[in-house]
Amino acid sequence: MSRNLILGAALSSLVLLAALVSFVWTPYDHAALNIPAKLQPPNTQHWFGTDHFGRDMFSMIMVGARTSIAVALVAVGIGMALGVPLGLTAAARKGSWLDEVIMRGNDLVFAFPSLVIAILITAVFGAGAINAIIAIGIFNIPVFARITRGAALSLWEREFILAARVSGKGAARISAEHILPNVANLLIVQGTIQFSLGILAEAGLSYVGLGAQPPTPSWGRMLADAQTMVSFAPHLALIPGLAIIVTVLGLNLLGDGLRDWLDPRIRVARA
């Protein structure tokens, strides 16, 4: 196993653990105001300091991890749930009008600047975590459709698929029983990468006020709140930013590591 994989898995599990533990325990109540203790820099009582309402930053970061992970994970889920069947269908019906429609549709979604459309969607349908998930999720669909189709196309040329066809299996059954398991590795790797992009997108949307709404803590909104206070309380901006970086870095390293680990050809080529 590579260093990337170990470091990535460690960082990602750290964030995941923080999110999970926050359901049962946080050092303080993340929403409890404590004005006398406001704007404290990191210290022994408040490991990450306190914000302008005296809320404990460490607790807020832990609960914020929950929001980030939930939004990004569901967005990846949407992308996979719709994109993978589309990609499998396009590959199974290669060259048909169906393939053409699916792929042109993909190109079209790719042509939209995703952030602009995410802003449009959240602006039209209202700001909130659910709409942020949908906005991010839509742009995951063509990513998964394209990668699935690409991998499936080369599989359809293989002999074991021919054998399955000879034995009388239909295209749908072959896609589900033989193609899907063989593209699963690829999907896991891409899923990790889209997950990290989702975390960044969620942070961006929350930062401009279109993501999760108060009182749900989110890293992006913590940064927006910190902006006017960055000159006298830099920890307010530093800590949520570092949380995002650790998460995204961890997931990217995990994705890279998984790709090398799951694909023996690359392992040999790199050695």
Partner 1 sequence: MLRYALKRLLSLILSLAVASVVIFAVIEIAPGDPASFMLGVNAQADTLAALRAELGLDVSKVERYFNWVGGMLVGDFGTSYTYRTPVSQMITDRLWVSLPLALYALTLSTLIAFPAGIYAAARRGKPGDLAVMGATQLGIAVPNFWFAMMLVLIFAINLRWFNAGGFAGWENGFWTGLHSLTLPAIALALPQAAILARVMRSALLDILAEDFMRTARAKGLSRRQALWRHGVRNALIPVLTIIGLQFSFLLAGSIIIEQVFYLPGLGRLVFQAISARDLIVVESVVMLLVFAVIMVNFLVDLAYAAVDPRLRSRT
**Which residues are at the interface with partner 1 (CB under 8 A)?**
104, 107-108, 111-117, 119-121, 123-125, 196, 200, 203-204, 207-208, 223, 226-227, 230-231, 234, 237-238, 240-241, 244-245, 248-249, 252-253
Closest distance of CB 151 from partner 1, Å: 19
**Tokens 């609960």 sit on residue:** 63
Closest distance of CB 259 from partner 1, Å: 13
Return d(Cα 182, Cα 136) in angstroms, integer: 27
* Ramachandran area for residue 141 (φ above 0: left; ψ -120 to 50: alpha; else beta): alpha
When the beta carbons of 151 and 248 are compared against partner 1, the nearer one is 248
How many CB atoms sit inside 10 A of residue 53's CB?
14
When the beta carbons of 56 and 202 are compared against partner 1, the nearer one is 202
When the beta carbons of 120 and 164 are compared against partner 1, the nearer one is 120
Closest distance of CB 162 from partner 1, Å: 26
CB of 248 closer than 8 Å to CB of 269: no
- For the record, the structure tokens of 61 come out as 């970061």
When the beta carbons of 48 and 207 are compared against partner 1, the nearer one is 207
When the beta carbons of 77 and 241 are compared against partner 1, the nearer one is 241
Closest distance of CB 210 from partner 1, Å: 9
Closest distance of CB 199 from partner 1, Å: 9
Interior angle at CA 22, CA 17 and CA 23, nearest 5: 110
Q: Which residues contact 93 (CB under 8 A, 6 or more apart)?
A: 99, 171
- Residue 56 identity (one-letter amino acid): D
